[in-house]
């Protein structure tokens, strides 16, 4: 999928500016072209490469602005590689930054206000800047930002605020009406987090003919009306964070429910929606038995797809601060903070054992017997489920 941040910044840029996109997944970086300003967004695992690109442009006399999650939480580090750093959301400060640049008074830091309230007003994303590139779809958007759960391993609350902020329903539906292809992806961290705000959007999508996917808290399935609206609006797949099947994480307000995960996943599945469950290995209560316990749990729940991650203590999270204080970080090579390497010392097993268990779980989840068993338990849309699993098999048979 194309970068969310780049579309947001492009949308916030006055039309008097010419905007050129370079996405290194598809493009070479145009170092030899002449630019008034280069803006680079970076998450933690991308930051090392972002700094290399920034340094090269600056060596050629081009001003560079760094923004995104990693520069926001480590602005002093980012500032060594940039003429300006944007802290927080770009939209509130971007036009001021451009004006300062043209006036010759570019500041080293631009700090966006801390998000408050429950309203979100952002310009429609500029999808056309991604034309000609081979993405699954460029029809992506956000209807909301923020999250109240403050999970210790997650940066969303610190970056987007501790309350759900939704765009006006009419604004979301009007943007969706401009989409000319069916496949759409919502990039909200928890699209269905506030039912009172989400339900009108879903109801308005009915009849648009869209096929969409997104990310949500599994607990939305406690509400039969919400499940019905999600299905009727054209949802074909939902990514849900199970995180851990043991300990405090299994009973966190985000995941704890009077209904079992099996029941909630069944409700979504029965509505004809593909469920992708996200699992994280490496919490402090995880010993070597966590891999078998997780496998048995997933056999009972039978989500259509499963994604396995290694716990990663990202800078700016409570988890990072605690591990740093306890001396448990193995290094601060940000390029390896990528959910696929162990970058800290686990409490109840060695880093090597944690990695091997994660890698084995990924392989075994997408063996042919595992795929056929899972597809058989998801009778709604068997062909679709089989296709998704075959595609995923190619990327999960080896770390």
Same domain, 97 and 145: no
Tell me if 129 is assigned to some domain: no
Strands 165-166 and 144-145: antiparallel
Phi and psi torsions of 291, nearest 5°: -70, -45
Tell me if 388 is assigned to some domain: yes
Q: What's the rounded Cα separation, in Å, for the pair 71 and 77?
A: 7
Final residue belonging to a domain, choices 56, 91, 111: 111
Mean of pLDDT values over 257-278 = 89
Same domain, 100 and 239: no
pLDDT reading at 397 higher than 90: no
CA distances from 167 to 143, 188, 198, 200, 336 (A): 6, 11, 10, 11, 35
pLDDT tens profile 26-48: 889 999 999 999 999 989 999 99
The dihedral sign for the CA sequence 120, 124, 130, 136 = positive
Same domain, 202 and 57: no
Tell me if 117 is assigned to some domain: no
Same domain, 219 and 103: no
**What's the distance, CA 54 to chain centroid?**
24
CATH, residue 212: 3.80.30.20
Same domain, 105 and 203: no
pLDDT tens profile 76-98: 999 999 999 999 999 999 999 99
Same domain, 99 and 158: no
For residue 71, what are the domain limits? Answer: 4-111
Same domain, 56 and 205: no
Phi and psi torsions of 302, nearest 5°: 55, 55
Q: What's the rounded Cα separation, in Å, for the pair 226 and 238?
A: 13
What strands, in cross-sheet order, belong to the sheet with 38-41?
38-41, 64-67, 84-87, 109-111
Tell me if 248 is assigned to some domain: yes
pLDDT of residue 136: 75
Same domain, 271 and 363: yes
Same domain, 74 and 168: no
Final residue belonging to a domain, choices 94, 111, 128: 111
Number of domains in the chain: 2
Tell me if 149 is assigned to some domain: yes
User: In this predicted model, which residue has the larger pLDDT, 302 or 65?
Assistant: 65
Report the 10 Å Cβ neighbour count for 34.
8
The dihedral sign for the CA sequence 23, 25, 26, 31 = positive
Tell me if 122 is assigned to some domain: no
Tell me if 345 is assigned to some domain: yes
Tell me if 390 is assigned to some domain: yes
The answer to whether the predicted template modeling score (pTM) of the entire model surpasses 0.85 is: yes
Same domain, 202 and 350: yes
Q: Where are the beta strands (DSSP E) in 78-124?
A: 84-87, 109-111
List CB contacts of 357: < 8 A, sequence separation 6 or more.
281, 288, 290, 291, 349
Q: Where are the beta strands (DSSP E) in 246-322?
A: 274-281, 305-310
CATH, residue 48: 3.40.50.280
Same domain, 195 and 342: yes
Least confident of 2-16, 108-122, 248-262: 248-262
Same domain, 286 and 338: yes
């Amino acid at each position: 999928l194309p970068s969310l941040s780049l579309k947001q910044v492009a949308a916030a840029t006055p039309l008097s500016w010419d905007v050129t996109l370079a996405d290194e997944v598809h493009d070479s970086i145009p170092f030899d072209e002449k630019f008034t300003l280069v803006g680079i967004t970076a998450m933690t695992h991308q930051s090392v490469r972002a700094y290399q690109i920034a340094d090269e442009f600056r060596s050629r006399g081009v001003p560079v602005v760094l923004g995104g999650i990693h520069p926001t939480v480590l602005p002093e580090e980012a500032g060594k590689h940039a003429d300006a750093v944007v802290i927080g959301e770009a939209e509130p400060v971007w036009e001021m930054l451009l004006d300062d640049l043209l006036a010759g008074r570019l500041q080293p830091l631009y700090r966006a206000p801390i998000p408050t309230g429950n309203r979100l007003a952002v310009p429609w994303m500029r999808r056309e800047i991604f034309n000609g590139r081979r993405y699954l779809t460029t029809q992506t958007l956000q209807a909301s930002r923020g999250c109240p759960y403050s999970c210790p391993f997650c940066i969303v609350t610190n970056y987007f605020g501790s309350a759900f902020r939704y765009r006006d329903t009419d604004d979301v539906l009007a943007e969706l009406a401009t989409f000319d292809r069916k496949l759409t992806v919502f990039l909200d961290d928890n699209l269905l987090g506030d039912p009172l705000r989400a339900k009108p959007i879903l109801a308005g999508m009915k009849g648009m003919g869209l096929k969409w996917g997104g990310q949500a808290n599994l607990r939305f399935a406690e509400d039969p009306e919400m499940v019905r609206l999600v299905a009727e609006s054209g949802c074909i797949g939902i990514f849900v964070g199970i995180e851990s099947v043991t300990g405090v994480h299994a009973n966190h307000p985000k995941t704890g429910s009077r209904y079992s995960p099996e029941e909630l996943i069944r409700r979504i599945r029965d509505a004809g929606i593909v469920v992708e469950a996200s699992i994280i290995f490496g919490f402090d209560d995880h010993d070597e038995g966590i891999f078998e316990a997780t496998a048995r749990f997933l056999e009972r729940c039978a989500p259509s797809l499963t994604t396995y991650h290694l716990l990663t203590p990202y800078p700016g999270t409570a988890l990072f601060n605690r591990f740093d204080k306890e001396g448990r970080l193995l290094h601060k090579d940000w390029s390896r903070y990528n959910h696929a390497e162990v970058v800290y010392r686990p409490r109840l097993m060695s880093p090597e054992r944690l990695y091997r268990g994660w890698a084995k779980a990924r392989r075994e989840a997408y063996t042919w017997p595992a795929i056929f068993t899972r597809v058989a338990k998801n009778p709604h849309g068997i062909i679709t489920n089989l296709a998704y699993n075959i595609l995923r098999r190619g990327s999960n048979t080896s770390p």
